[in-house]
Amino acid sequence: MLGAGLKGIENEYELPPVEMDDVFAMSSAERRAVGHQPLPTSLHEAIRQTEESEFMAELLGEQVFDSFLRNKRRDWDNYRVEVSPYELRTNLGIL
């Protein structure tokens, strides 16, 4: 976050206007209409966006960027094969 802030200061990025509406009360279509980009809804989506980010690669450096992505992919792989208590409660009876 500090790196992003510093880049914004160095490049004199213009801040977007403050949002006065309750974004959480809006529908997805309404949020899109006013230009809100949704955040990733899973670690997998966040990894995909990070892989495509030239800013993150530049900020972290090649070695740290590659290591970070490798670790996050491992986290995602470990997470998605874990059987959660919710899955046990709702699906175990089917077997």
Q: Is the pTM of this model over 0.85?
A: no
Report pLDDT for 95.
66
**Which domain does 44 fall in, by range?**
2-94
Minimum mean pLDDT among 10-14, 18-22, 46-50, 79-83: which range? 18-22
Report pLDDT for 81.
93
Give how many domains the chain has, as a whole number. Answer: 1
Distances from the Cα of 63 to the Cαs of 41, 50, 53, in angstroms?
A: 27, 14, 15
Residues 42 and 75: their CA atoms lie apart, in Å, by 12
C-alpha radius of gyration, the chain, whole number: 19
Residues 26 and 5: their CA atoms lie apart, in Å, by 28
pLDDT tens across 40-61, in order?
999 999 999 999 999 999 999 9
Run of H or E including 30: helix 28-33
Contact 44, 76 (CB under 8 A): yes
